A and B are shown apart, each in its own frame.
Chain A
Amino acid sequence: MDLTPLAVGLAIGLGAIGPGIGIGVAAGQAFNAIGRNPEAEPLIRTNFFIGLGFTEAIAIYALLIAFLIKFIR
């Protein structure tokens, strides 16, 4: 029985949980910060995007692993 589809689905599915939570927390905190201190909005936005990039990279690694499992034998 070929378990490759299961492995692929689990890799990306489990791998996306962490970044999903992380991006949610980061975005929520960023909006919170903007609400408290609207003048700092440009600075917060820039740093938010940087953090987003780092967080999202984890999901991309999971995606990459999924691709590797699927296409490389």
Chain B
Amino acid sequence: MVAILTPLLADASSGISEGLGINTVAFLSQLISFGIVFFLLWRYGFPAIIKILEQRQAVIREGVENAEKAKRDLTEASARAEQLLADARRQAQETIEQAAKNAQQEANRILEDAHARAEQLTQQQVARIQQEANRARNDLSRLVVNLSIDAASKVISRSVDSKDNRRLVEEFVSSSGQAGRQ
């Protein structure tokens, strides 16, 4: 087409083509210059910029994916933390309940012990008191016998020292003492 058009223009009216400044050498030099521009941009210029754009796209996509992954991880982690916390709370509750139960049992045991000891002590005391009372009563009755014999001997001015009398008085005192106690 170049070969046809340029001579065609040149032949049809050499004046016109000369006036417009069209000539083969200038045409070819401009064609080659533009070819160089096209080749450079096509091979080096545009790929460089498109590569930058694609790199940025990749980086941004990666960033967005990472952010989403982090978000997902965070959700998971917080769910797990929640779970752990609930577990711990439940365990603590159980432990506390167990401890309370144990303490209750211990308290009951201690109370029972104390009751038993108190009972035992009371019984011991009562027994001792009774023992003491018996001894005191015996002492008292002997004293009363002696006293009544002394008094009777004074009254009757004679010694009531016979064994028979003594036995008599003791029997009397004892029976009166029993009657008094009843």
Contact = CB atoms under 8 A, between A and B. Distances in A.
A and B, direct touch (CB closer than 8 Å): yes
Q: Is the interface of B mostly helix, strand, loop or mixed?
A: helix
Contacts of B35: none
Interface in A47-66: none
Interface residues of B, number: 4
B15 interface: yes
Interface string B1-41: 00000000000000110011000000000000000000000
A3 interface: no
A56 to B, nearest CB: 19
A61 to B, nearest CB: 13
The 3 closest A-B pairs by CB, nearest first: A72-B19, A72-B15, A71-B19
Given A68-B19, A72-B15, A72-B16, 5 more contacts: A68-B16, A68-B20, A71-B19, A72-B19, A73-B15
